[in-house]
Structure 1
Amino acid sequence: MSDFVLADVLLQATRVIAWFVIASGLAQSAVYLFQLVVAGATFYQRPPVARSSLLWHRYSDVAPPIALIVPAYNEQLNIVSTVYSLLSIEYPSYEVIVVNDGSKDETLSRLLETFDMREFERPHDDALPHAPIRNIYSSRNSDRLFVIDKENGGKADAQNAGINLCRAPLFCVVDGDSIVEPDALMRVAQPFIDDPNRTIGVGGTIRIANNSLVDAGRITDVRLPKRLLPLFQVVEYIRAFLMARVAWSRINTLMLVSGAFGVFRRREVIDVGGYTPGSMGEDLDLVIKLHRSMIEKKRKYRITFVPEPVCWTEAPETLSVLGRQRARWQRGALECFFRYRHMAFNPRYGRIGFLGFGQMFIVDVLGPVVEVLGYILMPTFYFLGGLSLEYLLAYTALVFVFGIFISVGSLVLEEIELKRFPTPRSLFILAMAAIIENFGYRQINNYWRLKGLWQYLRSDNSWGEMTRIGFQSRSP
């Protein structure tokens, strides 16, 4: 093959790859723009949010009992604050079941000592499989609180144990490093009250609590994180919950109810086999199984999202811990997509098959690969003479300007809807973080996601150590 022919082949290959990157990037941008527009329209059309006292007056007599299930593994720093926050929730009928999943630290001993726990016999069924239970405890201080001590089996396994022991028709999963706002349970239960026949799952908003002050299990002073890394995550969480979740919920195509705070109907979850043991994305996996089951049974149903119930959690503050978390999230997304690949673009599953799995394919499967290819190949093609300078600059401007637009747009939704950051200074700092995150943080996030892809291909199922620093608390 002559040098001229080889150069022509390379040029054609360059153009094909460039157009593939551009097309994939435009598809991802279209998904984000769709989410922002639908979320904005949803908030614009919603009636004013009811006050907590009005909700209690309206729904307290008909609110269904709920079991709060808290899987905990090595959560000694935050577990006491989390339990105090759950015991102070304003809801007429609920119980708290903490599942100590074979912790190696002082999680169990702190629970037993702080809440004066004693051994307790509680009959329960074995509808879902899980690792053996060593002991069950109840609190002398509160008839709402129970602790399950079991052998380590992973988060999904611990959640299944909690579901088996709970007696309420609904259960709410809460992470062991979370603080739930007092009115959150009443708000997240509202769809089950308004539409009890169809609603099978409801998610609430997760927010970052780093640097905020916790007093007796409540966030008493909302502050922005002092460090840049968790500050970027504040912007990410606002974008994920107030934009993406609201949009997909509006068209009844919500694919994820966060494992940190979500309510489900117990009967339907048991029918699909509960949480999948060993799954890296157990929350995503469960929601997909529920969609599949309801569609195959031809039942009318809703899995929805309510912005107002807020659960505060601790975000990683170091690159190493955050990198492990994001790689695990990516493994979970890929694992679920390919485990249920028969649903993808399958007419039998309607909007879930096309819109839900289409979004997962564009954002989770193609997204990190295409974006990193764009960062690497576009400048390379320019230096090789395959792309003009104008083309390269236009592509770069599109990527960064659109990313800033989406992030700032999600902050506008936060100010319209939740207003958890009351001062103009906080909003200004968040706006600056929304701009700066596009120059470095976004790129390293894609590196972590590619690392997750590589781990998935190698069948690496390690969870990784998630180091906590603990909430800033006053003693309860």
Structure 2
Amino acid sequence: MIPISILVPAYNEEETIVDNVKSLLYLNYPEFEVVVINDGSKDNTLEKLIESFELKLIDQPVRTLLKTQKIKGVYRNLDIPNLVVVDKENGGKADALNAGINVSRYPVFASIDADSILETDSLVRVIMPFIEDKETVAVGGIVRIANGSKIRRGLIQKVDLPKSRIALFQIIEYLRAFLTGRMGWDALNSLLIVSGAFGAFRKDVAIEVGGYTTGTIGEDMEIIVRLHKFMRKQKESIKLNLFRIRFAGLRLQRI
């Protein structure tokens, strides 16, 4: 299996960040790292992580593969070797992801939202297109609603439907947007977005196109457009594989 770096940009996520990081550390995959990027949070996000995982500030050089806001520190616990926490000045989600790319060790990275919950076999499924087809540069997941499901310590214990009608309609919309809609665009080789909730990329190609562009609210779409342009110049095309993940709530969703 190809090793994977999971990049988790976090801004003011003190309420959920610890449980979500624990759930990522429980994923079923032979070799991966979780890189949490604290993007200048104004709450206790960093302090919660340091306390819960007994992290220590270390002297770790960071390669400047992509330009980012200043990195103030890198934290680790030698007993949890696949967890890295990066503290940096605020620069937005795209800048945080670029910082995560700079710190990451592995050839494939997966970017996720701090409030996304991955199914335990997600990494196994997301890596398969990269193994099966060397031209694959990006893989996206199907985002689903977790409202109504029983979640304990960041892991889904039971899948169920929400009672709210708004949330039920949101489930239908997500099936349209993240499953049928994107499968249709992919069939035309015209897919223009891999959701920021969970998408995996070849790191070398992402760096080649300049990483994520700051100053835009659609960094997940913008990088895919540049990847299309770059790969077509290379006479290759972006390959997409769809699989399931679950989203932790409606807080960041359209209603």
Q: TM-score when scaled to structure 1?
A: 0.52
Secondary structure at the aligned position of 1:235 is classed as helix
Alignment of 1:179-258 (within 5 A): 179-196=117-134, 198-258=135-195
Paired residue for 2:19? Answer: 81
State the 1:225 CA deviation.
2.2
Query: Which residue identity does 1:72 align to in structure 2?
Result: A
CA offset at residue 141 of structure 1? 4.0
Report the AA paired with residue 293 of structure 1.
F
Offset of 1:125 from its aligned partner?
1.3
**C-alpha contact 1:88 1:217 (8 A) present in aligned 2:** no
* Per-residue deviation, 1:80: 1.5
Q: Distance in 1 between matches of 2:124 and 2:242?
A: 11
Amino acid at match of 1:302: I
Q: In the alignment, which residue of structure 2 is the partner of 1:312?
A: 247
Return the letter of the residue paired with 2:249.
Answer: E
Cα offset, 1:93, TM superposition:
1.0
Q: Within 5 A, what are the aligned runs for 1:5-16?
A: none
The total of aligned residue pairs comes to: 255
CA shift digits 1:204-248 (9 cap, x unpaired): 111111232222321011122232332221111111112011222
Classify the secondary structure of the residue corresponding to 1:236.
Answer: helix
Runs of 4+ in 1 over 4 A off after TM superposition: none
Structure 2 residue matching 1:125: 3-state secondary structure: coil
Q: In structure 1, what is the Cα distance between the partners aligned to 2:246 and 2:62?
A: 29
Q: Which runs of 5+ in 1 are unaligned?
A: 1-62, 317-321, 327-444, 446-476
Counterpart selection for 2:4 from 63, 66, 71: 66
Give how far 1:110 is off.
Answer: 1.1
1:128-149 alpha-carbon deviations (Å, 9 max, x no partner) = 1111011100124411101001
SS of structure 2 residue aligned to 1:188: helix
Is the contact between residue 246 and residue 305 of structure 1 (CA under 8 Å) also seen in structure 2?
no
1:311 & 1:226 partners in 2: Cα distance? 17
Q: Could you list the per-position Cα deviations for residues 274-317 of structure 1 after superposition, in whole angstroms to 9, with x for gaps in the alignment? A: 0001111000000001001112x23213231323x42433213x
Larger Rg: 1
SS of 1:153's equivalent in the other structure is coil
Task: Tell me which protein shows more strand as a share of its residues.
Answer: 2
1:112 aligned counterpart, secondary structure: helix
SS at match of 2:72: strand
Q: Aligned AA for 2:57?
A: E
Residues of 2 paired with 1:175 and 1:132: CA distance? 21
**CA distances 1:321-369 after superposition (whole Å, capped 9, x unpaired):** x6xx65xxxxxxxxxxxxxxxxxxxxxxxxxxxxxxxxxxxxxxxxxxx
Which residue in the other structure is 1:93 paired with? Answer: 31
* Cα deviation 1:147-178 (Å, max 9, x = unaligned): 00111100000000000111110000011011
Structure 1 letter corresponding to 2:213: T
Q: Which residue of 1 aligns with 2:59?
A: 121
Cα drift, residue 107 of structure 1: 1.1
AA matched with 1:167 = R
> One-letter code of the match for 2:165?
L
Return the match for 1:284 from 221, 228, 234.
221
Out of 80, 84, 88, which is 1:146 matched to? 84
* TM-score scaled by length of structure 2: 0.95
- Structure 1 residue 122 displacement after superposition: 2.5
Aligned 1:15-54 pairs, distance under 5 A: none
Structure 1 CA distance for aligned equivalents of residues 59 and 136 of structure 2: 33
Secondary structure of the equivalent of 2:239?
Answer: strand
Describe the superposition over 1:40-85 as per-residue Cα deviations: whole angstroms up to 9, x where unpaired: xxxxxxxxxxxxxxxxxxxxxxx11110000000111221121111
* Alignment check: 8 A CA contact 1:81 1:179 kept: no
Larger RCO of the pair (alpha carbons < 8 Å, separation 6+): 2
- Kept in 2, the 8 Å contact 1:210–1:225? The answer is yes
Identity of aligned residues (%): 47
3-state SS of 1:267 partner:
helix
Residue 310 of structure 1 aligns to which amino acid in structure 2? I
SS at match of 2:191: coil
